[in-house]
Amino acid sequence: MSFTSLNFWFIFPLIFVFYWAIPAKWNTWRKVLLLVVSYLLYMNWKLVYALVLLGVTLVTYWGGALFTIKSRE
């Protein structure tokens, strides 16, 4: 979805409102919302793109977890 498309200008305000409607103490749910929306937008183009995004997400998560463990030692 392009930033200049009409679809973007319909979807973005909804996601913006939903994000800020979630209380700050539930910050994890805010992040989950953004992750789910990003997957749905990628799947809008092709399902295989969501699989690529899943791979990138897992590698990034595991890399961050590994770095956190290494920095505590």
Whether pTM > 0.85 for this model: the answer is: no
Is 33 inside a domain boundary?
Answer: yes
**Total number of domains in the chain:** 1
Residues 32-67 as b or e (16 or more Cβ within 10 Å = b): ebeeeeeeebbeeeeeeebeebeeeeeeeeeeeeee
Task: Give 22-70 pLDDT, tens digit per residue.
Answer: 999 999 999 999 988 888 887 877 888 888 888 998 999 999 888 877 6
* Domain ranges, residue 58: 6-72
- Is 1 part of a structural domain of the chain? no
